[in-house]
Amino acid sequence: MITQPLHGKNRADIPDDYGNHHYSPYRFFSAEEWSQFRADTPLTLTADEVRRLRSLNDPIDLDEVRRIYLSLSRLLSAHVESSHLLFQQRKRFLSLSDESKTPFVIGIAGSVAVGKSTTARILAELLSRWPSSPKVDLVTTDGFLHPNAVLKRENMMDRKGFPESYDMGALLRFLSAIKAGQPNVKAPTYSHLTYDVLPDQFQVIHRPDILIFEGINVLQSRSLPADGKVVPMVSDFFDFSIYIDAEEALIHNWYVERFMRLRETAFKNPDSYFNRYSQVSEEEALSIAEGLWQNTNLKNLRQNILPSRPRADLILQKGQNHLVETVGLRKI
């Protein structure tokens, strides 16, 4: 992964971790270079709103919004506008009169503790405040996990978050309904307090202009069927995809730091699934956090999440301070 900021477009010193620099499908920009692309995009968030939107242990502030997210908002605006133009052209080509434009879907992927949720919420707020006032909804993949009862029965609790722990049929049916423009599409919801899917509780998505779909494995590919049948992947429904990246060692530190902070906050709630971790010594809690990282989250990162990075349209590479240092944009 990137260990220092890159300067200039198409530099020959693009890190090998992103592929052979002579054939890389990405253009890389330092955060400072990227910030210049915001042009006259207005800052529509306040410092208090950013504090409310950011996740625990995420230091994003207004300066980071100006550096990274205003340019990203402008880029996404261009993609949404181009999507609408293409839709109108195809509508004329097919001589269709009653077809409506379906939602523009943005996928956000990356490891646990890397800041996906913050990025998703910040983007959702910025996009909803465009002059056209689009309707923007945000859905996470957590609700599509199999319930704990199923994972326990299948002996998969230690693989929660791995691709096989999701109800892939329900996930694909949801995205298919969204892309078909269906009204009032239900997405299952998840409680981080109880660490489980909430039975019979749903988030209703009604024909948004933009849907942000966030989850660790949303760019995951799958084996192709030998008979050539159409077997869609989650990313087939995306119009644009973002991967939040960082050095493995940094993500490890962020995960453990967040766990230890949660031990002093959310885990103290008697209803928390992890309440027991708030009652052990700091040394024992640290050992538990390291075990969870090594046995579950690191394996998932290496086996499933990181290999999906090259499928993203845009890569946000974070550095030591949890702020974006480099942006990689797929070439057109």
Q: Residues at the annotated binding site for ATP?
A: 110-117
| Residue 288 Cα to chain centre, angstroms | 26
Angle, in degrees to the nearest 10, between helices 248-263 and 282-292 = 140
Lowest mean pLDDT among 65-69, 116-120, 223-227, 237-241: 223-227
Confidence at residue 232, expressed as pLDDT on a 0 to 100 scale: 87
Mean pLDDT, rounded, of the chain: 92
Confidence at residue 9, expressed as pLDDT on a 0 to 100 scale: 45
pLDDT (tens digit per residue) in 22-80:
678 999 999 999 999 999 999 999 999 999 999 988 899 999 999 999 999 999 999 99
List the one residue out of 83, 103, 80 whose CA is nearest residue 185: 103
The Cα angle at residue 102 between residues 332 and 185, in degrees rounded to 5: 130
Residue % of the chain over a pLDDT of 90 = 85
117/52 Cα distance (integer angstroms):
12
Confidence at residue 56, expressed as pLDDT on a 0 to 100 scale: 85
Confidence at residue 19, expressed as pLDDT on a 0 to 100 scale: 61
Domains of the chain, residue spans: 16-330
Q: Residues at the annotated binding site?
A: 110-117
Mean pLDDT to the nearest integer, 125-154: 97
Architecture of domain 16-330: 3-Layer(aba) Sandwich (3.40)
State the maximum Cα–Cα separation within the chain, in Å, rounded to a whole number.
69
List the one residue out of 119, 137, 38 whose CA is nearest residue 78: 38
Confidence at residue 5, expressed as pLDDT on a 0 to 100 scale: 39
Contact between residue 317 and residue 283 where contact means Cβ atoms under 8 Å apart? no
Torsion angle of the four alpha carbons 273, 214, 156, 177, in this order, in degrees rounded to the nearest 10: 110
Indicate if the pLDDT at residue 13 is higher than 50.
no
pLDDT (tens digit per residue) in 234-265:
999 999 999 999 999 999 999 999 999 999 99
CA 123 vs CA 78, 119, 244: distances in Å: 15, 6, 13
List the one residue out of 3, 24, 23, 21 whose CA is nearest residue 12: 21
223/137 Cα distance (integer angstroms):
30
pLDDT (tens digit per residue) in 269-308:
999 999 999 999 999 999 999 999 999 999 999 999 999 9
Confidence at residue 207, expressed as pLDDT on a 0 to 100 scale: 96
List the one residue out of 234, 240, 196, 195 whose CA is nearest residue 216: 234
Pair of tokens at residue 12? 């020959």
Determine phi and psi for 328, rounding to 5 degrees. -110, 120
CA 312 vs CA 43, 180, 306, 331: distances in Å: 26, 23, 11, 11
DSSP 3-state of 321 = coil
208/183 Cα distance (integer angstroms):
9
pLDDT (tens digit per residue) in 298-312:
999 999 999 999 999
Indicate if the pLDDT at residue 159 is higher than 50.
yes
Confidence at residue 15, expressed as pLDDT on a 0 to 100 scale: 53
List the one residue out of 270, 329, 332 whose CA is nearest residue 72: 329
